[in-house]
Amino acid sequence: MPAQPRSDVPPLSAAQATASDHVTARAADLSNWCATIFDHGETAWREYRSAAWYVERLRAEGFTVEEGSGGMPTAFCAEWHNGDGPVIGMYAEYDGIPGNCQAASTRREPRKGLGYQAGGHTDPHSGLGMAGLGGLLATKAAMEKHGIRGGLRFTGEPAEKVRGSKPIHAAKGYYDGLAAILSFHPFYMLPMCNTVRWDTHCGAGWSMIYRFICDAPEGWGRHDGAPIPQAHSAVRAPGANDALNLMFLTSKSLRDSMLPHQGGWSISEAILTAGQATADNLPAGLAEIQYMMRVPTIAMADQVTAVLDRNAEAAAAMTGCRWERHWVCKSRPGLANHAIARTVWEAMQSVGAPFWDEGAKRIAREIQTNLGLEPMEEPFIPQMSQLIAPEAAEAILRRDLPPSQTHSTSDDYTDMCWHAPTARFYVARPALRGPDGYAYPAWVMNALGGIPATIDPMVQTAAKILALSALRLLEDPAARDAAMAEFRDRTGGGTGGSTWLPPQCDYAPPIHFRWPEYVTTPRGQDWWIPSAMPGA
């Protein structure tokens, strides 16, 4: 049976009932649209088809859309107004991750015409964005039918996996003037499953690219700056590949020294460009490595950056290179707002948790069988269909955190929190139970995020929660005012207040780097790493 809505929450208004029915009526559209974005599988800063799809759809639904918002080609900002009144913000994400190409299938196989190294959806942002769109359209339909004045703003947020667009949108004013922002994300792990974040929000996320350029190798190793005397001897300069290698290894070895030994933090790296030279006695002229840090505070991010800068300077000096640092993102830690969290929690209780029917269970059992497991009568983890109160989830989350740690993990919704009251909530995505000690391969979660029968329940549930929450804020001035009063109190007077944290973004959109992407050649569309490997 589906999880039943709670009886001790306010009854739905006529507009909220209209919105809920609207999501149900358009379930087939949302399912088909979600499958479309899943199949695009585009990655950070290169989501051309996905962004174009959203722009076209939103215009067809009556929205005015700015393409390329904030100077980002795959971002957008859509607006719709039903007269003067408060404006509610929602958004879509649609980027995937390189190396996670998976078909909407019950066995491991890439999408047609591609290899496993192509992009694919993991979280899945295909479902996240479609839930946002479904909630947006349902809210609009209810506002029109019931004469609710106000507006809706819907931003397209590319490159979330590198925390890319929201710090830029925030710095350029795209979240200003909103009465509230609603932020949804798929999740399945306790305690952040079918709940709303309470006090402990996500922390800071900073990312940068270090670029090493060897454009004067002839002077390497000469104390007087004179050129190396023999032809082709410039290859003796180590060059950019060696600089990148030194940076990579040095930063790995110093990782424990970069940050305190308590508090949730992580640093990861990706090599974007390496080589840029032939093997004909020429040193590599260009190499680039990206770092991503997830830390509770901006002070910790500054500490890591200082160490990485020193490492880059040393690596460049040893290899005959110069170095540059280019920012990818600088996102702020989140800001709690209990008033709006309560509003969303009431909507969540009214809607109930997602429900997976027998058709979805058959698909789950087929995956288990294909993996050589005994299929289970109840193949999904039970937490997927249970709600957990925000305060209870907060208590569980705090068990593993030191008292001094105020933020945990990172996600760039946090930049929105400093411009309007923001609620961050989670709805369960499909996840399978397993035998004790068994870990499912990553493709399973990716596939479940693309198979309509398994991902649609999450999309429809989240869309209804978004719409009910937005309409409550539009129809109830007391709920809206309480959220704004708390926002002003926590920021010392609102945007620009005494305790308000301004945007950290002081850089241009990092769109011109060698981000992994699909390419079109005489062979057809391919991933930047050839899909058809020799001998495959």
The one-letter amino acid at 345: W
More confident residue, 440 or 223: 440
Between vectors from CA 175 to CA 172 and to CA 181, what angle results, nearest 5°? 160
Q: How confident is the model at residue 1 (pLDDT cuts 50, 70, 90)?
A: very low
Q: How confident is the model at residue 30 (pLDDT cuts 50, 70, 90)?
A: very high
Arithmetic mean of pLDDT, 46-74? 98
Q: Using the predicted structure, report yes or no on whether residue 176 has a pLDDT greater than 90.
A: yes
Beta partners for residue 424, in sequence order: 183
Q: Which two tokens stand for residue 437?
A: 């000690």
Report d(CA 185, CA 132) in Å as an integer: 10
Kindly report, as residue ranges, where domains of CATH 3.40.630.10 are found in the chain: 14-202+333-490
The set of residues, in sequence order, having a beta carbon less than 8 Å from that of 56 and lying 6+ positions away, is: none
Residue whose tokens read 């050589």: 372
Residue whose tokens read 């269970």: 361
Q: What pLDDT, on the 0 to 100 scale, is given for residue 281?
A: 72
Arithmetic mean of pLDDT, 47-59? 98
Q: What pLDDT, on the 0 to 100 scale, is given for residue 380?
A: 96
From the list 158, 163, 164, the residue with the least C-alpha distance to 510 is 164
Span 94-153, pLDDT tens digits: 999 999 999 999 999 999 989 899 999 998 999 999 999 999 999 999 999 999 999 999
DSSP for residue 26: T
CATH 3.30.70.20 fits 14-202+333-490, yes or no: no
Arithmetic mean of pLDDT, 305-329? 95
Arithmetic mean of pLDDT, 197-208? 96
Instruction: Give percent above pLDDT 70 in the chain.
Output: 94
Mean pLDDT of the chain: 92
The CA-atom distances, in angstroms, between 148 and each of 24, 83, 135, 351, 451 are 21, 8, 16, 21, 36
Q: Is the peptide bond before 379 cis (omega within 30 degrees of 0)?
A: no
- Angle of helix 125-146 relative to helix 452-475, nearest 10 degrees, comes to 40
Q: Alpha helices, DSSP H only, in 26-82?
A: 27-40, 48-60
The set of residues, in sequence order, having a beta carbon less than 8 Å from that of 59 and lying 6+ positions away, is: 65
CATH of domain 205-331: 3.30.70.360
More confident residue, 525 or 25: 25
Ramachandran region of residue 49, left (φ > 0), alpha (ψ -120 to 50) or beta? Answer: alpha
The set of residues, in sequence order, having a beta carbon less than 8 Å from that of 332 and lying 6+ positions away, is: 167, 204, 298, 414, 415, 417, 418, 501, 503, 504
The set of residues, in sequence order, having a beta carbon less than 8 Å from that of 126 and lying 6+ positions away, is: 34, 35, 37, 38, 94, 96, 449, 450, 455
The one-letter amino acid at 273: T
Kindly report, as residue ranges, where domains of CATH 3.30.70.360 are found in the chain: 205-331
Arithmetic mean of pLDDT, 440-444? 96
Report d(CA 42, CA 119) in Å as an integer: 6
Does the pTM of the predicted model rise above 0.85? yes
Span 252-301, pLDDT tens digits: 988 888 887 777 788 999 999 877 776 667 788 999 999 999 999 999 99
Arithmetic mean of pLDDT, 399-417? 91
